[in-house]
Structure 1
Amino acid sequence: MDPRSEVLLRQAELFQGPLLLAGAPADDLLGHLPNAQAWSWHAGDQALLDSRFAGRSHYGVEVPAPAFAAAVLFLPKSRELAAYLLNALASRLAGRELFLVGEKRGGIEGAAKQLQAFGKPRKLDSARHCQLWQVTVEHAPAARPLESLAERFTLELNDGPLQVVSLPGVFSHGRLDRGTALLLEHLDALPVGAVLDFGCGAGVLGAAVKRRYPQSKVTMLDVDAFAVAASRLTLAANNLEAEVISGDGIDAAPTELSVILSNPPFHTGVHTHYQASENLLKKSSDHLQKGGEMRLVANSFLRYQPLIEAALGNCQTCAEADGFRIYRATRG
């Protein structure tokens, strides 16, 4: 069980009424708290929770509708996302309890200071390298629409300016990361057809490709509901149309693709995970049609080339700059 869940269960007597677990991990916590509902924005966690606790987990970027007497926020990595979530939860909890749980190395002590805006926070427990905080919401804030927290910026591309809309918690929030910037410079001569932007984030690659290759059908995929929402806003800001889907990894993607584009993710929370990226590389041939191409950017220190060669039988390094490499491979 997740150590944060273990800390909650040490105080189980506090969580007997209708409870919302925001950002709940995909463990057995719901099994120990029969009156709790989960709220998840991670497609993989949502699928696992739904398979075990059908109807008790809600997926999306807005606070779910069912009434709750108290809420627990599992601290996310992003400070901006934590601020949005705390505000959204506190706006629904006037006079009631809001709890915050997180790992010490994830910044729980600093994040707990944000609770001061709602009342007088107190630390309830410290164990398993985690802390649990509580505040009675004496000053309930007005709910802020998520879109009002969007960061908007413009990319000057060769075919004109591209508007990008980023939301709290989305990778490289409010700015263009160096890896994606490099890949944007190497989108020439892409095969036309079905294109996948894997790990789409705020939708930069997918939107740029759809505008440059309007005859292609673009699908944008991300595990994070906030990224999916941001990608849709980016498309709308540029009057573009593409399919944006939630899913946990390449298994959720279409097949018979002409192109897979990606700046593949390898960070989740305060931990580092490579599984989603390695699965993308290993299973790329299952999703590309014959002659289809994978083009991606990755940190130079990541040993992706052998995985790509094992999957597709070939791999070229098209460019290298700023600690990143552009890889290109074609399914024979």
Structure 2
Amino acid sequence: MEPKSEVVIRQHDYLSGKVLFANAPTDDLLSNLAQDIEPVLWTWNYNEFLYFQQRNANVHFGIELPESEFDQAVVFVPKSKELLNYILHNLASRLSEGASIFLVGEKKGGVERAAKQLQPYGEATKLDSARHCQMWQMTLKNQVQVKPVADWVQQYTVATPRGDLNICALPGVFSQNRLDVGTAVLLPYLTQVTSGKIADFGCGAGVISAYLSKLNPKNRIFALDVDAFALASTQLTFEKNHLPLEQLEVKAVRGIEDAPLFLHAIVSNPPFHQGIQTDYNASENLCKTSRRHLKSGGELWIVANRFLNYPLLIEQNYGQCTTKADQQGFKVLFANTQKKS
């Protein structure tokens, strides 16, 4: 069990009734709670949703709070400060005055900084500090009116040869405030991507998907991500730029294994972070197994940090890998499945 969960178990006498657990670790926390606690889980990570669903937990996946009522909430600190603000605001709009919101996190994950974000809603007290983690309790004094999702969007503009794109990014989404260097290096090469049925794996705020739509209104684009906030952001980006929504299908996925088959192309600035941890599994699997999702002659386009061993992995699985660009610490990599003669 993760240390964060152990701290919650140590203090579980403070918990009672129907308790919302937001961003809970995928461990044995639920099975160690007292019988009188009725847990409801909220996650925006599709892998975590499936984990809890397999354990018959009452779990909700999405960017909005579960519809069900609850008496208290336990929030496991996310990496993003903006995302924590979003979570706390939504909880303060739903819970009744006097209800407790507990905050749990690792010291290296910034739990002390995060505890300061409780202050607008009530007085916070540190309940426990153990195993390099802390647990805080805040009694809700200041309820708020829930804000529409649009109020949480950060916007920025990306210039392209086909005109500006207005990007809409929700809290916690990769590269929320500005275009990241990797995607900027990749964008000029999207004009070379074969048209047709294209997957944008790890779609983030939808920069790649939106540009592919601008390049060819006949492209069918599958925006794939593990994160509900990324999927919602991509949808908002399409709407903001008046791009045809019938072109777009947003889909929550575990990894590339959930991508459609018979794709003309897969384009990706692949993710390599899971919370505050570095995790290369999703991107390495993309290099190793994406081929089976492509048509004969289908293309793989990836941008990745120069130091990663993706060219070798791609070559092992496609028979070849071409470096289209090597600049600003990033490589644009290309491979295709050989057309059958």
> What TM-score do you get using the length of structure 1 for normalisation?
0.97
Match of 1:277 in 2: 283
Match of 1:107 in 2: 110
Q: Distance in 1 between matches of 2:49 and 2:2?
A: 15
Q: Distance in 2 between matches of 1:136 and 1:16?
A: 14
Post-superposition Cα deviations, 1:38-79, rounded to whole Å, max 9, x if no partner, equal 00100000011001124x000110111111110011100001
The structural deviation recorded for 1:290 is 1.0
Q: 1:186 aligns with which of 186, 189, 200?
A: 189
User: For this pair of structures, how many residues does the alignment match?
Assistant: 331
Query: Structure 1 residue 312 and structure 2 residue 315: aligned?
Result: no
The answer to whether the Cα contact below 8 Å between 2:191 and 2:215 also exists between their aligned partners in 1 is no
The answer to whether the Cα contact below 8 Å between 1:23 and 1:40 also exists between their aligned partners in 2 is yes
The structural deviation recorded for 1:32 is 2.6
The structural deviation recorded for 1:87 is 1.1
Match of 2:253 in 1: 247
Match of 2:30 in 1: 30
SS in 2 for 1:91: helix
Query: Structure 1 residue 197 and structure 2 residue 208: aligned?
Result: no
Match of 1:144 in 2: 147
Query: Structure 1 residue 176 and structure 2 residue 179: aligned?
Result: yes
Q: 1:299 aligns with which of 287, 305, 321?
A: 305
Misfit runs of 4+, over 3 Å: none
Structure 1: any 5+ residue segments left out of the alignment?
none
Post-superposition Cα deviations, 1:167-203, rounded to whole Å, max 9, x if no partner, equal 1100000210010011101112221211000000000
- Measured on the aligned residues, the alpha-carbon RMSD in Å equals 1.1
The structural deviation recorded for 1:320 is 1.0
The structural deviation recorded for 1:237 is 1.1
Match of 2:93 in 1: 91
The structural deviation recorded for 1:215 is 1.5
SS in 1 for 2:236: helix
Match of 1:206 in 2: 209
The answer to whether the Cα contact below 8 Å between 1:165 and 1:231 also exists between their aligned partners in 2 is yes
Q: 1:287 aligns with which of 279, 283, 293?
A: 293
201-210 or 25-34, larger mean C-alpha shift: 25-34
Q: Distance in 2 between matches of 1:281 and 1:237?
A: 32
The structural deviation recorded for 1:20 is 0.1
The structural deviation recorded for 1:267 is 1.1
Percent of pairs identical after alignment?
47
Structure 2: any 5+ residue segments left out of the alignment?
none
Match of 2:84 in 1: 82
The one-letter amino acid of 1:114's match is: Q
Match of 1:21 in 2: 21
SS in 2 for 1:114: helix
The structural deviation recorded for 1:109 is 0.3
> What TM-score do you get using the length of structure 2 for normalisation?
0.95
Q: Distance in 1 between matches of 2:226 and 2:150?
A: 19
Query: Structure 1 residue 162 and structure 2 residue 165: aligned?
Result: yes
Q: Distance in 2 between matches of 1:190 and 1:146?
A: 33
SS in 2 for 1:186: helix
Match of 1:331 in 2: 337
182-191 or 39-48, larger mean C-alpha shift: 182-191
The answer to whether the Cα contact below 8 Å between 2:104 and 2:135 also exists between their aligned partners in 1 is yes
The answer to whether the Cα contact below 8 Å between 1:105 and 1:270 also exists between their aligned partners in 2 is no
Q: Distance in 2 between matches of 1:237 and 1:27?
A: 39
SS in 1 for 2:115: helix
